[in-house]
């Protein structure tokens, strides 16, 4: 997320009262806050979390999905020795049946769902994927496509014994155009590695998310990932230019164009963006990358109330204009958890709310002037009471870590009930306050954070352990509350296994019916990622 910079001050810190000061210092040095830690960036990836979780002795074994959720196995065939032999012929040496390797692929990184697949396949090419799916189609074998397994809704692991089709070895860049910034690559490329690749060539990936160190671009597209750059670069529906997809019967659908504009008929690739592997397996992606900004600044600010957060956002849009690239918020409880579980220090004085504002632009001088203008206005009018700005990469990354690692901090706090909703910004935080009052001491923590600039709230509730009673207090309350505001019950995480039955809170029956018709058209035997995305009853 943070790229080449031309620092004006490497970092400075200020206070609203009695008067704010800046402290210039050498690039890379930490200032002001002595407790500020230096965080290795990659630690924030899900692989790191998963590592932590599996080595911690107190972590209990994840209950099989079929025991926790009311789901019945559909009458697919069971993988036989003959099937394994057939797969071995298609991808020699890449048919995995080792239980330890399967354990990692059967459990989601949040440790909430567990499948019991007996085989993991690692194709390298589209042709291999096509052969595998053709075989599965003939044999009526269900398939769970898997990227980096970083999904939030149980969509990336099997529910029963579905074959796991991993894109991990499909990790080659196919082409990159130095002038247009158009990247074509296989689906299994890791987002962070792609970002490094295009950064070296003067561009950045149009999306960024906490899981970047593990997630695959194919999985990002299949789940229509939003993330931290959405505010500036928009949806994957605009930035993805082409896809190559293998359909359920093994047919290869080549829509892998690299054109910014192409109005030749229906835009078929859109069917697969956000369909969570239920309509086809994405094998390659063509994506438009924006130029790498010459200057990046990150401001981390304390706000006295949520009304001030909203007003700061309006001020921010007015003063920063086209260089605003992120506007994130977190509440005081988030900061407390990040400090408690990850030992990250609060870089500003304690406040009820914190915001992170990022600018990305082509002129360090102009950007700094704009940011100064915003900060002066925000401080002068009391919207912000305290803050720090990072203009060098290390400081900026440290500030981002406070926001990005909230998910990780939560996972250390106990069982996490996760909600990811879109709401009108005026009502954005009311849901958190309402829920805190409703649950009282039954919850350890009720926290709110997220992409305020996109109207996307991450609402999380932690408890010592999973409890159906607490679940009953949360659901359908959260969904009816959201539906009453005409919000979305899944802003960016998708539906997967755990949210599919709440689809009706955001989509009318006609739309759900059309979804089922599309599923029947593209995957009539229902082999691809079964039990996911579509509600159980049509």
Within 422-451, the residues that bind a copy of itself by CB under 8 A are: 422, 424-426, 451
Q: Is 237 in the site for a copy of itself (CB under 8 A)?
A: yes
Scan residues 363-392 and list those touching a copy of itself (CB under 8 A): 363, 366, 369-370
Scan residues 76-135 and list those touching a copy of itself (CB under 8 A): none
Q: In what order do the strands lie in the sheet with 173-176?
A: 173-176, 182-186, 281-288, 240-246, 252-255
Q: Is 22 in the site for a copy of itself (CB under 8 A)?
A: no
Q: Which is nearer to a copy of itself, 87 or 233 (CB)?
A: 233
Residue 384 in contact with residue 296, Cβ under 8 Å? no
Among 6, 78, 521, 538, binds a copy of itself (CB under 8 A): 521
Q: Which is nearer to a copy of itself, 223 or 411 (CB)?
A: 223
Residue 123 in contact with residue 132, Cβ under 8 Å? yes
From 50-58, 94-102, 130-138, 507-515, give the range in contact with a copy of itself by CB under 8 A.
Answer: 507-515
Scan residues 440-499 and list those touching a copy of itself (CB under 8 A): 451, 454-456, 486-495, 499
From 233-241, 390-398, 432-440, 466-474, give the range in contact with a copy of itself by CB under 8 A.
Answer: 233-241
CB atoms within 10 A of CB 493: 23
Q: Is 235 in the site for a copy of itself (CB under 8 A)?
A: yes
289: Cα within 13 Å, side-chain hemisphere: 31
CB of 117 to a copy of itself, least distance (A): 25
First to last CA, the chain: 41
Scan residues 136-175 and list those touching a copy of itself (CB under 8 A): none
Q: Is 508 in the site for a copy of itself (CB under 8 A)?
A: yes
Residue 68 in contact with residue 471, Cβ under 8 Å? no
From 86-94, 209-217, 224-232, 298-306, give the range in contact with a copy of itself by CB under 8 A.
Answer: 224-232
Whole-angstrom distance, CA of residue 91 vs CA of residue 109: 27
Among 119, 133, 282, 515, binds a copy of itself (CB under 8 A): 515
Binding string, 255-294, against a copy of itself, x = CB under 8 A?
x-xxxxxxxxxxxx-xx-xxx---x-----------x-xx
CA dihedral 392, 397, 403, 407 (to 10 degrees): 180
From 102-110, 183-191, 312-320, 327-335, give the range in contact with a copy of itself by CB under 8 A.
Answer: 312-320
> What is the helix (H) or strand (E) element at residue 283, kind and residue range?
strand 281-288
Q: Is 254 in the site for a copy of itself (CB under 8 A)?
A: yes
Q: Is 322 in the site for a copy of itself (CB under 8 A)?
A: yes
CB of 198 to a copy of itself, least distance (A): 15
Q: Where are the beta strands (DSSP E) in 72-198?
A: 95-96, 120-121, 143-146, 163-166, 173-176, 182-186
From 19-27, 398-406, 431-439, 508-516, give the range in contact with a copy of itself by CB under 8 A.
Answer: 508-516
Quick one: 73 exposed, middle or buried, by C-beta within 10 A (0-12, 13-18, 19+)? middle
Cα–Cα nearest to 431, from 449, 408, 404, 453: 449
> What sign does the CA torsion over 199, 200, 203, 205 have?
negative
Whole-angstrom distance, CA of residue 445 vs CA of residue 430: 16
Q: Which is nearer to a copy of itself, 379 or 522 (CB)?
A: 522
Scan residues 27-56 and list those touching a copy of itself (CB under 8 A): none
Q: Which is nearer to a copy of itself, 13 or 489 (CB)?
A: 489
Among 234, 352, 382, 414, binds a copy of itself (CB under 8 A): 234
Among 23, 172, 362, 480, binds a copy of itself (CB under 8 A): 362
Among 94, 124, 135, 317, binds a copy of itself (CB under 8 A): 317
Among 46, 210, 219, 361, binds a copy of itself (CB under 8 A): 361
Q: Where are the beta strands (DSSP E) in 384-497?
A: 386-390, 415-422, 445-451, 456-463
Strand 120-121 relative to strand 163-166, pairing: parallel
């Amino acid at each position: 997320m943070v790229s080449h910079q031309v620092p004006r001050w490497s970092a400075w810190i200020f206070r609203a009262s009695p008067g704010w000061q800046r402290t210039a210092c050498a690039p890379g040095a930490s200032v002001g806050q002595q407790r500020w830690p230096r965080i290795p960036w990659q630690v924030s990836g899900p692989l790191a979390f998963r590592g932590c979780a599996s080595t911690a002795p107190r972590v209990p074994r994840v209950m099989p999905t079929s025991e926790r959720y009311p789901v019945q196995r559909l009458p697919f065939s069971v993988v036989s020795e003959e099937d394994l032999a057939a797969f071995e012929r298609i991808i020699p040496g890449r048919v995995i049946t080792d239980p330890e390797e399967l354990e990692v692929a059967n459990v989601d990184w949040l440790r909430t769902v567990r499948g019991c697949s007996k085989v993991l396949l690692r194709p390298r090419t589209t042709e291999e994927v096509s052969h595998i799916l053709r075989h599965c189609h003939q044999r009526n074998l269900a398939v769970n496509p898997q990227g980096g397994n970083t999904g939030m809704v149980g969509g990336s692991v099997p529910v029963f014994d579905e074959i796991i089709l991993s894109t991990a070895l499909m990790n080659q860049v196919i082409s990159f155009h130095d002038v247009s910034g158009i990247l074509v690559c296989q689906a299994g490329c890791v987002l962070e590695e792609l970002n490094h690749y295009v950064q070296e060539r003067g561009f950045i990936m149009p999306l960024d998310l906490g899981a970047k160190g593990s997630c695959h671009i194919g999985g990002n597209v299949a789940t229509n990932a939003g993330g931290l750059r959405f505010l500036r670069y928009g949806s994957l529906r605009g930035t993805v230019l082409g896809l190559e997809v293998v359909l359920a019967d093994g047919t290869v659908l080549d829509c892998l164009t690299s054109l910014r504009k192409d109005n030749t008929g229906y835009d078929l690739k859109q069917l697969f963006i956000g369909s969570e592997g239920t309509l086809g397996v994405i094998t390659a992606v063509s994506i438009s990358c924006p130029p790498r900004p010459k200057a990046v600044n990150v401001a981390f600010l304390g706000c006295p109330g949520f009304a001030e957060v909203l007003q700061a956002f309006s001020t921010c849009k007015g003063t920063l204009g086209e260089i605003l690239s992120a506007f994130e918020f977190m509440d005081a409880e988030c900061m407390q958890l990040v400090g408690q579980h990850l030992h990250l220090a609060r870089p500003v004085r304690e406040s009820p709310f914190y915001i992170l504002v990022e600018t990305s632009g082509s002129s360090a001088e102009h950007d700094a002037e704009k940011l100064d203008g915003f900060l002066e206005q925000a401080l002068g009018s009391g919207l912000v009471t305290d803050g720090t700005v990072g203009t060098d990469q290390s400081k900026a990354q440290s500030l981002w870590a406070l926001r990005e690692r909230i998910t990780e901090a939560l996972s250390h706090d106990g069982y996490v009930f996760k909600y990811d909703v879109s709401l009108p910004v005026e009502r954005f935080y009311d849901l958190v306050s309402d829920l805190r009052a409703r649950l009282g001491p039954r919850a350890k923590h009720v926290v709110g954070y997220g992409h305020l600039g996109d109207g996307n709230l991450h609402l999380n509730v932690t408890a010592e352990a999973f409890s159906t009673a607490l679940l009953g207090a949360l659901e359908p309350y959260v969904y009816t509350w959201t539906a009453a505001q005409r919000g979305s019950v899944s802003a960016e995480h998708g539906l997967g296994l755990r949210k599919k039955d709440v689809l009706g809170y955001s989509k009318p029956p006609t739309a759900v019916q059309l979804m089922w018709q599309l599923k029947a058209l593209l995957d009539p035997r229902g082999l691809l990622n079964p039990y996911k995305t579509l509600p159980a009853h049509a």
